[in-house]
Amino acid sequence: MPDKPIEIWDKVDSFFTDALIPPDPALDAATAANRNAALPAIDVTPLQGRFLELMIRATAAQRVLEIGTLGGYSTIWMARAVGPNGKVITLELDPHHAEVAQRNFQEAGVSDRIELRLGPASESLAALIREKSAPFDFIFIDADKSGYPEYIQQSLKLSRPGTLIIADNVVRDGKVIEPHSPDPNIQGVRRFTELIAAQPRLSSTVLQTVGSKGYDGLAISIVLS
């Protein structure tokens, strides 16, 4: 992420956020709680939260998997989108993040549709595979970028034809194009890209994004078979 987003990106993000996303006591309280608890300000933006909602509604997803909860800002958007009979399983490594998230879920009134699993995501995913979990309809990958290669391979085992998989932060201020980057996050995203490209079960694209969180992008894949 750049230290400071380009001013015009920030202003345009605010313009469309003010126009399209009304103030929302539960989401605004979650954002405030996350900053008060000193969680890093790397939640999806309001417009990106709406994008996740739209993708979930468009695919009528009922079972959602999120890898990387933080304070649960994105989780609340997705839990609302699945509706009262849907379910979101969200995976988080950091117990402090998980505790803040659980409080935010309660405040937002969506705790009953969310299951937070604490621990390294690769282990939680392995457990879901072992438990023969029903396939997910929608998967949002947003934890440590160095883990993306493993998360996509495990996600495929938790998918069915039609499952939509979105991975956040694949552009990283453009650093993704540096083949010799020493940053394990960049190497993770590069390897992730090779894997989705070579995977015949996936059809994939990437959307570059700018806004209040800088210059980044989303990888979007659909499971074909």
Residue placing its CB nearer to ligand SAH in the complex, 78 or 198: 78
Report the nearest approach of ligand DHB to the CB of residue 85 (Å): 28
Number of Cβ atoms within 10 Å of the Cβ of 191: 14
Residue placing its CB nearer to ligand SAH in the complex, 125 or 198: 125
CB closest to ligand DHB, residue no: 42
The yes or no reply on residue 142 touching ligand DHB (CB under 6 A) is: yes
Report the nearest approach of ligand DHB to the CB of residue 47 (Å): 13
Residue placing its CB nearer to Mg ion in the complex, 52 or 223: 52
Residue placing its CB nearer to ligand DHB in the complex, 90 or 169: 169
Residue placing its CB nearer to ligand SAH in the complex, 21 or 201: 21
The yes or no reply on residue 47 touching ligand DHB (CB under 6 A) is: no
List contacts with ligand SAH (CB under 6 A).
42-44, 68-70, 73-74, 91-94, 97, 120-121, 142-144, 147
Q: Which of 46, 142, 151, 167 binds Mg ion (CB under 5 A)?
A: 142
| Total residues interacting with ligand DHB, rule: CB under 6 A | 5
Give the chain as a 3 state SS string. CCCCCCHHHHHHHHHHHHHHCCCCHHHHHHHHHHHHCCCCCCCCCHHHHHHHHHHHHHCCCCEEEEECCCCCHHHHHHHHHHCCCCEEEEEECCHHHHHHHHHHHHHHCCHHHEEEEECCHHHHHHHHHHCCCCCCCEEEECCCHHHHHHHHHHHHCCCCCCCEEEECCCCHHHHHHCCCCCCHHHHHHHHHHHHHHHCCCEEEEEEEEEECCEEEEEEEEEECC
The yes or no reply on residue 169 touching ligand DHB (CB under 6 A) is: yes
Q: Which residues bind ligand DHB (CB under 6 A)?
A: 1, 42, 142, 168-169
